[in-house]
Amino acid sequence: MTPEFSFEMLGITKKFPNVLALDNVDFKVKVGEIRALLGENGAGKTTLMKVLCGLYRPDSGKILVRGKEARIRSPKDAIGLGIGMVHQRFALVESMSVLENVVLGTKMDALFPLRRARADVEELAEKFGLKVDLDAKAWQIPASEQQKVEILKAMYRGAKILVLDEPTSMIAPSEYETLFKSLIELSRSGTAIVFITHKLKEAMSICDTITIMRRGKVVANCDPKEVSAKELAEMMIGRDLQTEAPQKSVAAGGQAVLEVEDLFVENDRGMMAVKGVSLSLRRGEILGVAGVSGNGQTELMEAIAGMRRPKGGRVTMDGKELSKLPPWKIRELGLAYVPESKRVAISPGLSVSENAILKSYSKSLSRGFLMMKESVSEYARQLVEKFNVVAPSLEMPAKFLSGGNAQKIVLGRELMSDPKVIVAGNPTSGLDVSSTELGHGLFLQARAKGVGILLISEDVDEILKLSDRIAVMLGGKITKVFDRTPPLDELSLAMTFEQ
């Protein structure tokens, strides 16, 4: 007899220093069910799934897999029980082929290791609509294809429970439907799917049930057909949601503050990622750069911020060339940088306070070579309060912050530096509803003060909401510029096909 539940997590509690991450959590998913897991940053979603996948051990509680109690002490135990997880940032070996990535670490035929594996992988890909070139190197395929490879990896290992962490964050809107069709096919085969997302429309469109967490507890289980997006958001944050979104004022249309001229930049593999890009950012303007991940956006940002030396072209701010300056000097001139990966901008061993003041060693915070502890604490406290960072203590090591709260530290640190120009990469990716609205409001406030903002984002809704002009980046080039907000379909098409 087939059990009703694919897995059951009962009374799960997990503590970290000064943090109760999970408080007696019950979470059950039926066989073949697609269940959304929603919550603010730091609500405990990722921690709960890491317990299921063997990355963390709970302090108390038990897990049942297909009706039987399971002891999950490591990821190996979880894989053996048919549990797979696709993380937000993919974990492929770029120099290996797609097929080699799928079978990596599994037992294979001694004589013809890849021949039989190829047939099995092709069958899985055909069955679940996950077709991809098995002979291509991982670095050669776009993010949407890499995601298929990650799902194939889990299914090849016999996953009957699949956890997806922000699965649409790395792909274009035009590719959502293909992903959703594959997930529906997987669910029809009996696979239980946990869908972690901050995008409420996605949760409501594809998921059978929605579970909401807040401060380490499950606070609601909902049928998406019976609730509105506003009601879901209010359950997530535990209060009424501000219904009025921040409004853009008319663009100031000032003179250019940042100019990029015929820029060429190589990626880490020595291949040209930015190919002759030119753009101009005006004071009091938000210039959005839209594009699917992997089209040169990262290299463009890093070159502007001084993190990567261009191979050709130039970058100027207020007439001063930045192309050959070190990052600290560029920041001193008034450029703030929010990188795509916020974890690289956090020092995990330092405290929340110390991370808050990184790059802000001003006279108001120091006396000679010594930092003034009270001033540092007050500055950090203001940042934590203004950006709603969930941290039990300012002296807590930053490594214990959730990804979203670490991101808010970085965003707050840069916005509080009184910049002339902000270069931001996916600044609200992974943030909850209220934090995203806060971030958007602060960007618009900075814009109103005359700050030029280069917003590089894979979130089309964010680009459309905030941008005065939109440049589309595809294949390392700016392929189209919209001087006015275009329809969603037109922008999505431009992100996928050169026009």
Work out the average pLDDT over 61-84.
94
- Residues 65 and 9 both lie in one domain: yes
Q: What is the pLDDT of residue 230?
A: 86
How far apart, in whole angstroms, are the C-alpha atoms of residue 390 and residue 35? Answer: 26
Q: What is the pLDDT of residue 245?
A: 46
Assess whether pLDDT exceeds 80 at residue 1. Answer: no
Q: Is residue 251 part of a domain?
A: no
Q: Which two tokens stand for residue 73?
A: 């002490």
The CB-side HSE value for 154 (13 A sphere, CA atoms) comes to: 30
Assess whether pLDDT exceeds 70 at residue 362. Answer: no
Residue finishing a domain among 185, 204, 237: 237
| 368 confidence band (pLDDT: 50, 70, 90) | low
- The total of structural domains in the chain comes to 3
Q: What is the pLDDT of residue 371?
A: 65
- Residues 208 and 115 both lie in one domain: yes
The CB-side HSE value for 170 (13 A sphere, CA atoms) comes to: 22
- Residues 327 and 451 both lie in one domain: yes
How far apart, in whole angstroms, are the C-alpha atoms of residue 189 and residue 334? Answer: 55
Could you count the other beta carbons within 10 Å of the beta carbon of residue 39? 26
Q: What is the pLDDT of residue 369?
A: 64
- Residues 115 and 133 both lie in one domain: yes
How far apart, in whole angstroms, are the C-alpha atoms of residue 54 and residue 84? Answer: 10
Q: Is residue 245 part of a domain?
A: no
Secondary structure element (H or E) that encloses residue 436, with its range: helix 433-448
pLDDT tens-digit readout, 302-328:
999 999 999 999 999 999 999 889 998
- Residues 97 and 168 both lie in one domain: yes
Q: CATH number for the domain including 146?
A: 3.40.50.300
The CB-side HSE value for 125 (13 A sphere, CA atoms) comes to: 20
- Residues 116 and 210 both lie in one domain: yes
| 470 confidence band (pLDDT: 50, 70, 90) | very high
Residue 120 DSSP SS3:
helix
Torsion sign over Cα 441, 444, 449, 452 = positive
- Residues 380 and 481 both lie in one domain: no
436 vs 22, higher pLDDT: 22
How far apart, in whole angstroms, are the C-alpha atoms of residue 416 and residue 21? Answer: 29
DSSP bridge partners of 335: 421
Assess whether pLDDT exceeds 50 at residue 346. Answer: yes
Q: Is residue 410 part of a domain?
A: no
pLDDT tens-digit readout, 214-262:
989 999 999 999 999 888 988 888 877 654 444 555 555 578 999 999 9
- Residues 289 and 368 both lie in one domain: no
**Poorest-confidence range of 109-118, 210-219, 335-344?**
109-118
How far apart, in whole angstroms, are the C-alpha atoms of residue 172 and residue 59? Answer: 39
Residues of the domain holding 377? 347-400
AA identity, residue 76: K
- Does the pTM exceed 0.75? no
Phi/psi region, residue 400 (left: phi>0; alpha: psi -120 to 50; beta: rest), is alpha
- Residues 469 and 436 both lie in one domain: yes
Q: Is residue 250 part of a domain?
A: no
- Residues 353 and 218 both lie in one domain: no
- Residues 360 and 471 both lie in one domain: no
Q: What is the pLDDT of residue 108?
A: 67
- Residues 75 and 214 both lie in one domain: yes
| 366 confidence band (pLDDT: 50, 70, 90) | low
pLDDT tens-digit readout, 371-383:
667 788 888 888 8
From 309, 328, 326, 291, select the one nearest 425 (Cα to Cα): 291
